[in-house]
Amino acid sequence: MKNKITDLFGIKYPLIQGGMVWVSGHKLASAVSNSGGLGLIGAGSMYPHILEEHIIKCKKETNKPFGVNIPLFYPDLEAIIKIIIEQDVKIVFTSAGNPKTYTKFFKEKGIKVAHVVSSVKFALKAQDAGVDAVVAEGFEAGGHNGREETTTFTLIPMVKKEIEIPLLAAGGIATGRAMLAARVLGADGVQIGSRFVASEESSAHQLFKKEILKAKDGDTMLTLKELIPARLLKNKFFYDIENLYKKGANVEELKNLLGRARAKKGMFLGDLEEGELEIGQVSGLIDQIKPVKEIINEIISEYNSALNEFSVLKL
Amino acid sequence: MKNKITDLFGIKYPLIQGGMVWVSGHKLASAVSNSGGLGLIGAGSMYPHILEEHIIKCKKETNKPFGVNIPLFYPDLEAIIKIIIEQDVKIVFTSAGNPKTYTKFFKEKGIKVAHVVSSVKFALKAQDAGVDAVVAEGFEAGGHNGREETTTFTLIPMVKKEIEIPLLAAGGIATGRAMLAARVLGADGVQIGSRFVASEESSAHQLFKKEILKAKDGDTMLTLKELIPARLLKNKFFYDIENLYKKGANVEELKNLLGRARAKKGMFLGDLEEGELEIGQVSGLIDQIKPVKEIINEIISEYNSALNEFSVLKL
């Protein structure tokens, strides 16, 4: 029942909930932590004082470990780091930046650090920087993504081969079978995003949640590769980008179309036409909005029953 | 030891060797079949009389089942189908076309048919057409590929959910752990390509094989999406395509650059600069050229030992 990941974070299951913008507030994070996983508050879409509020509420809602995800390109990074220290947050997941900059600082404050990567090179960099664990995220993941387009199926064993520290797999994981497959490929645990977007406790807009249930394979695509690549649900906004590409758009024109607050508009305010809807390929497997507790129980019970089938798989 | 796939094809292990252009001749196919898998001759790069020669030689080299892979866009399809019937080939894998056109005909001749797809929609179409099995191939696979970019990790469970017939997973599979992970995700067996390109018996040029050993994650990319998408090793030819894209190339210009026989030039004749080098993302995990027998034994033994570790994975 225990492994490197459960020991590292002091949790029951090696299952992390991704700290996603506009989705992962205190309600989602505390529900995940209360159900045996590790909940993460997504700081990327929060003003510092909003993050502070979420941390304070999350502490009231759970006495289990939880953490905060910080995208390292956050404009007012110092302010949120100050809050994390003041509020005595014990776990930080960093992404989208250089892990060298803050890992040592966090570790000195007794904070556990995991860093999200999309390639072997950055996994090694994160390990060198002293992080406690690496999250290797495949091409199929929703939202911001790497440029190499390496998929979960190939990225996990390649990273596993090179690093010594605990490894979490992300991208394409929404079920117990996928969690087990990720562990077979070498991961010590998993980070799950999309499945939790479609939970009752996520702060995603209800219309966005319902749109996820309709998604089939092929309904998401990685785009905006000239800015920061992002996997989006194919809605009007997505096709507007595609049409701009067809006209030979340059980076400036793409930035202008993207504008500001597109993700908020789509994911938080429910504008399914003009908003940016970040979600993974695995949305094609998600067909019900459920409470977090039910989702986690379902994943763990499917994981264990898949494990039991294995006696018949001997070759 | 037996399952749907081993029963269907009369083989020992549910492991198929992809019928790849310029790589999969009689030597590779017979070596795989003699080692307990299913060898496939790749008709896509052969004139009809060359295919005939390979089939005749393969029959001499093995008394085990083997098959032929036919891309359904082959220019002289009738001629190779005639040879397959005359030579009494018992297994055909079709790809890149409508499975309706020939499946019934093959089945009436007592031939087992599998069809390669990259989406749930085409998997259902293939099942409707009456094929015996579906190969679902993920985005990470080498060579020609689907437009939806669905990865093995998400495609396999989505296809599994919808079809009744046996399912083979392809794309990103080169090891026993990956074979086991594919089965956990719902596949009855696997089709392996890249790993066999780097076998002693493949007819790939020695220089191409050595180039595969050097590949790391991020060294392949899906390109030529406006023609037929193909995953290539990033060599001079690949960057020539990229530069053409940057200049806003149209389909005609891309076709002109591609020209004819690029894959032969690279994969068969070993021109690492000007040739097209089709290979999967999993090339990053391949670091030795080995005989087929050793490759298969290694995969099966890793599969079984990974299976034995599972007792400790209980949650």
Note the pLDDT tens digit of each residue in B142-195. Answer: 999 999 999 999 999 999 999 999 999 999 999 999 999 999 999 999 999 999
Which of A139, A216, A303 comes nearest B139 by C-beta? A139
Do residues A201 and A27 touch, judged by C-beta distance below 8 A?
A: yes
* CATH of segment(s) A4-204+283-313: 3.20.20.70
Region B117-128 average pLDDT = 98
Test B151 with A139 for CB contact under 8 angstroms.
yes
Query: Distance, in angstroms, between B13 CA and closest chain A CA?
Result: 7
Nearest CA in chain B to A234: B148
**Which one-letter DSSP state was computed for residue B222?**
E
Tens of pLDDT, residues B229-262? 999 999 999 999 999 998 888 999 999 999 989 9
The residues in B 125-164 lying below 8 A from A, measured between CB atoms, are 138-140, 147-155, 157-158, 161
Tens of pLDDT, residues B23-59? 999 999 999 999 999 999 999 999 999 999 999 999 9
| CA neighbor of B105 nearest in space, from B88, B81, B138, B132 | B81
For the sheet containing A230-233, what is the strand order?
A143-144, A230-233, A220-223
Do residues A73 and A99 touch, judged by C-beta distance below 8 A?
A: no
Q: Give CA–CA dist B208/B276, Å, rounded.
A: 10
Give the start-to-end residue ranges of the domains of chain A: 4-204+283-313
Which of A153, A186, A218 comes nearest B148 by C-beta? A218
Name the band, by pLDDT with cuts 50, 70 and 90, for residue A311. low
Query: Residue B109's pLDDT is what?
Result: 97
**Does B175 reach chain A within 8 Å, measured CB to CB?**
yes
Query: Residue A269's pLDDT is what?
Result: 98
Q: Measured between beta carbons, which residues in chain A are less than 8 angstroms from residue B284?
A: 120, 150, 154, 158
Q: Give CA–CA dist B305/B8, Å, rounded.
A: 26
Q: Write the CB contacts of A83 (distance below 8 Å, at least 6 apart in sequence).
A: A48, A51, A52, A55
Q: Give CA–CA dist A212/A224, Å, rounded.
A: 21
**Does B247 reach chain A within 8 Å, measured CB to CB?**
no
Which of A178, A180, A248 comes nearest B153 by C-beta? A178
Test B140 with A151 for CB contact under 8 angstroms.
yes
Arithmetic mean of pLDDT over chain B:
96
Distance between the two ends of chain B, CA-based, in angstroms? Answer: 27
Query: Residue B62's pLDDT is what?
Result: 98
Q: Measured between beta carbons, which residues in chain A are less than 8 angstroms from residue B1?
A: 314-315
- Using a 10 angstrom Cβ sphere, with 0-12 exposed, 13-18 middle and 19 or more buried, the burial of residue A315 is buried
> B189-192 and B15-17 as β-strands: parallel, antiparallel, unpaired?
parallel
Which of B149, B150, B284 comes nearest A158 by C-beta? B284
pTM: 0.97
CATH topology of domain B4-204+285-305: TIM Barrel (3.20.20)
Q: Give CA–CA dist B96/B115, Å, rounded.
A: 9
**Does B123 reach chain A within 8 Å, measured CB to CB?**
no
Tens of pLDDT, residues B196-215? 999 999 999 999 999 999 99
A72 has a pLDDT exceeding 90: yes
The label of the residue with tokens 């020939």 reads B102
> How many residues belong to chain B?
315
Which of A14, A157, A177 comes nearest B185 by C-beta? A177
The residue of B147, B220, B221, B315 whose CB has the most chain A CBs within 10 angstroms, and thus the best one to mutate to test that interface, is: B315
**Does A285 reach chain B within 8 Å, measured CB to CB?**
yes
Query: Residue B113's pLDDT is what?
Result: 98
Query: Residue B2's pLDDT is what?
Result: 83
Name the band, by pLDDT with cuts 50, 70 and 90, for residue A19. very high
Compute φ and ψ for B15, nearest 5 degrees. -135, 115
Query: What is the count of residue pairs from A and B with beta carbons less than 8 Å apart?
Result: 159
Question: How far, in Å, are A127, A218, A255, A276, A312 from residue A240 at the CA level?
Answer: 40, 18, 13, 11, 50
Query: Residue A307's pLDDT is what?
Result: 87
Over its C-alpha atoms, chain B yields an Rg (Å, rounded) of 18
Q: Measured between beta carbons, which residues in chain B are less than 8 angstroms from residue A153?
A: 138, 140, 151-153, 171-173, 178, 181, 282
Query: Residue A71's pLDDT is what?
Result: 95
Name the band, by pLDDT with cuts 50, 70 and 90, for residue A315. low
Tens of pLDDT, residues A219-278? 999 999 989 999 999 999 999 999 999 888 899 999 999 998 999 999 999 999 999 999
B315 has a pLDDT exceeding 80: no
Test B314 with A307 for CB contact under 8 angstroms.
yes
Test A315 with B14 for CB contact under 8 angstroms.
yes
A138 has a pLDDT exceeding 90: yes
